[in-house]
Amino acid sequence: KSTPWSSPQVVHPPEGLPLLSCALVFPPRAQVETMSPAIALAFLPLVVTLLVRYRHYFRLLARTVLLRSLRDCLSGLQIEERAFSYVLTHALPGDPSHILATLDHWSSHCEYLSHMGPAKGQILLRLVEEKAPACVLELGTYCGYSTLLIARALPPGGRLLTVERDPRTAAVAEKLIRLAGFDENTVELIVGSSEEVIRRLRTQHQLSRADLVLLAHQPRCYLRDLQLLEAHALLPAGATVLADHVLFPGAPRFLQYVKNCGRYRCRLHHTGLPDFPAIKDGIAQLTYAGPG
């Protein structure tokens, strides 16, 4: 005896609806299955075009996310720690230039480090030598690459305060800085968030003014931290502010602010990412005119 739900059901077309229309509304199973490859083939040129056009970004993604995560899991070390191990066995202690070259070589031939790199480094080095700042503030120490660039170009008696949020990364940078031969009187590394550190620079670290500031941490924090520096009167008139990665990944709100507020003269140095010159980036160079 058949149950109501197991008995065959016959679906009749609505009254007045042509049979051809029913065929269009309810296509046969075989027809649906044969349409899928056709749709896939239609999208194939678009997919190929995207892969070719953005191949550099896909390579960057693979090296900075996929391969890095795999090596982190296999080694139990962060990429900065692996880079420092390489420096220990290949670089000359007390020679900042050789240590920087070793990091560049490791990033190009071993693992992509996401550091500043030689092209941007030359811009930074030239400005430090030109401005001869008595005190430099760096937000975003990372592995210590840009820290060494600044420290080696400081004038006699110059001081560099560098801030790193991540304690584990800061520990690696501290070792690299001391390996290069810079003591705490020249380079002071502060562990903490940039927002918190800026508020206590004057009271806890005796920083009354920063003649040159490098923003190299998180582009989304650039605007907030620049306004904090202004609010705490840490930028003297004529101070230079350098902001990395303003085009990739980008800092549009920061750039809009410095261009429209009327307190900065702006210049943009166009560069590419280290080992990925096709990916365009830039360093913003700002000259502070004062609070008025």
Q: What is the pLDDT of residue 33?
A: 52
Q: What is the pLDDT of residue 54?
A: 83
Parallel/antiparallel/unpaired status of strands 276-288 and 264-273: antiparallel
How far is the C-alpha of 42 from the C-alpha of 45, rounded, in Å? 7
The candidate with the shortest Cα–Cα distance to 180, out of 81, 91, 268, is 91
Cβ-contact 107, 115 below 8 angstroms: yes
Q: What is the pLDDT of residue 35?
A: 53
What CATH topology corresponds to 115-288? Rossmann fold (3.40.50)
Q: What is the pLDDT along the chain (292 residues), one digit of tens a residue?
A: 444 444 444 444 445 444 434 444 445 554 445 557 777 677 777 777 877 788 889 899 999 999 999 999 999 999 999 999 999 999 999 999 999 999 999 999 999 999 999 999 999 999 999 999 999 999 999 999 999 999 999 999 999 999 999 999 999 999 999 999 999 999 999 999 999 999 999 999 999 999 999 999 999 999 999 999 999 999 999 999 999 999 999 999 999 999 999 999 999 999 999 999 999 999 999 999 998 7
How far is the C-alpha of 195 from the C-alpha of 229, rounded, in Å? 10
Give CA 214 to chain center in angstroms.
14
Q: What is the pLDDT of residue 34?
A: 52
Continuous H helices in the chain: 19-25, 29-53, 55-61, 67-75, 79-90, 96-109, 117-131, 145-153, 167-179, 194-199, 201-204, 222-231, 252-260
The predicted model scores a pTM of 0.83
Largest CA distance in the chain: 101
Q: Which residue has the tokens 């940078």?
A: 173
Cβ-contact 139, 217 below 8 angstroms: yes
Quickly count: other Cβ atoms within 10 Å of residue 232's Cβ. 14
Q: How does DSSP classify residue 154?
A: P
How far is the C-alpha of 280 from the C-alpha of 248, rounded, in Å? 7
Q: What is the pLDDT of residue 118?
A: 95
Q: What is the pLDDT of residue 32?
A: 46
The domain segmentation of the chain, as residue ranges, is 115-288
Q: What is the pLDDT of residue 236?
A: 97
List % helix, strand, coil for the chain (3-state, nearest 5): 50, 15, 30
- Inter-axis angle of helices 252-260 and 222-231, nearest 10: 40
Three-class secondary structure of residue 116 per DSSP: coil
Cβ-contact 276, 60 below 8 angstroms: yes
In degrees and rounded to multiples of 5, residue 170 shows phi and psi of: -60, -35
Q: What is the pLDDT of residue 217?
A: 97
Task: State the number of CA atoms in the 13 A half-sphere of 106 facing the CB.
Answer: 24
Q: What is the pLDDT of residue 24?
A: 43
